[in-house]
Amino acid sequence: MRAIIDSAVKFLCTKTLGFDVVSAKSLGSGFYGSSIPLYANGVEYHFYLFFKHDTLKNFAVALMGVDELMDADLDDLSREIANQIIGKAKILLSETEGGEYALGTPEFLGEVKNFSVKLDEKLLYKMKNRTFQIGYKKA
């Protein structure tokens, strides 16, 4: 799953938006979250994505051409990024592993100070010197 998620992140960030993306060591605190379920061959995975405010601004400039974000923008943008990345992962899984995959509806988690869900795996990225994290938990 790790390689699939990494490929999906790089597809959106590098190939689609033109950002260089590298691995990061820590997310820090004070971030915005979104979640989205992926159903893979009868198994449910809950993906959690966390973005620093400035990371969301970088996505907003690239996707919408705006650099001022209102609260409603944070909601929509966090859910759209989750949909884009995990949606691409769904396609990659289907192409490489076959089987049945379905994507659920993304949910905005709001501003998150501490995240209490123990993730099975997580990946941290840095884009334009701003961090974001994607992790999942098998249900």
Domains located in the chain, CATH noted? 2-138 (3.40.1550.10)
pLDDT value for 91 = 95
pTM above 0.85, yes or no: yes
**Res. 28 pLDDT band, cuts 50 70 90:** confident
Answer with the residue of higher pLDDT: 45 or 28. Answer: 45
Query: pLDDT (tens digit, 9 = 90+) per residue, 72-111?
Result: 888 899 999 999 999 999 999 999 998 899 999 999 999 8
Report CA-CA distances (Å) from 30 to 52, 53, 55: 7, 8, 12
Contact 67, 61 (CB under 8 A): yes
Query: pLDDT (tens digit, 9 = 90+) per residue, 43-67?
Result: 999 999 999 889 999 999 998 888 7
Half-sphere exposure of 48 (CA within 13 A, CB side): 21
Residue 101 dihedral angles phi and psi, to the nearest 5°? -135, 140
